[in-house]
Every structure is written in structure tokens, then in C-alpha cells.
Chains A and B, each alone.
Chain A
């Protein structure tokens, strides 16, 4: 199983709504990532969790709140978003940088296409 599963695939939300994006993997990866990707741009790192602890927060506004309830799940809670937050949100997982193992690849989910209206 080399899948990273993201739900929902599409999300339209108003600026006063609260919603959550979910990400799940069962590869035993202990590093998980949230990226934001605007059209025709590279993925932009938002958060990194390593062994279920937040290790990197790239100065992301507090209207984005990550959560890692266990080693397989990663959530991104959204509240009071702005239209400019509309983008493709990608989750990825990998073995942590210092980790050793057979599988060394990082895998991406299919993404959630978010539209803020």
C-alpha cells in the first residue's frame, strides 16, 4: 500500500465556515506534510509533522490549524479563510530524514481542491 488518501477531493466554503481536510497513510511513515499549491506554481510547504509532533510551521496564518492525532492521520482545520486561500492542498508522507528503511520515497495524496467564496 503506497497510498496517501485525502478527503474531500473538492471543497467549497464560505469565509465564515469551519471545515477540515483529512489525510491518511498506512505506510508507517513518521513524517507528514501539508502543502499549498496555486495554479502554475510549485507546492509551497505549510507544515511538517515528525513523529506526530509539529516540527515546522512556515509562518502560516492561524486560520490554518494542523493536527496529527496519530501516526497515520493528519488534519488541517480551516476557519475564517480568505478567497486568496483557494488552492490545491496536498498532503505527503515520507520516512523521516534520519529514518532508514526499505521505502525511502515520499508520496503525495490526490489533493483537496479548495475554493473559498
Chain B
């Protein structure tokens, strides 16, 4: 069974940093691209970014709202995905989801999300 599970959320002050993790199981992690998507309170879904697989040099794409502040990485040995978030702003407050990307580029399996709150 495909599973992805986020962790690492919490309360952080504006300007601070936080690192989210996502543990993947039930599929060959190294074959798949992976996404991060977020959802602010009572708002819609916002794509944060993507990391490709080894065959595509682990290259990344980011939303303009996070580019230069957030970094996506992965560790194949631990079947894990990461989101390093720096210079956090109050508008980064959201539930952050880890999402597997299927072979035809559609995001298919979502984790349950981890809450990030940026507040003083």
C-alpha cells in the first residue's frame, strides 16, 4: 500500500526556519517525482514545489511565492522527502502535504499533512 507521512510541523516565529519530512513506503521511492502542496486555513490548495528523480538529476521547481526561501530535497537511502523552509512569513501558515507524482506526472497519493504556524 502506497503511504506518505509528513512530520516536523509546528509553531515558528516570523523570520524563522523549519524542516518538514515525509516518509514514503509501499512504492519504489527512487522512481518517482515528489511534490509539496499547502493549504492555508479555510483556503484552497497551493502547489509549493517539485523534486524530480535521480534519472532527472533531482532537479527542482518552485512556486514564485517560496522560491529562494524554500528548498526541496530527498534521501533515497531513507525513502524520505524534505522541505527546508527559511525566512518564514505569517502567510506561510498552512497545512503542508507531501504528494507522490505518478509516472504520467499526475500527483496521485497525498499524505495527511502537517500543520505549520508562523506567528509571534
Partners in one complex: no
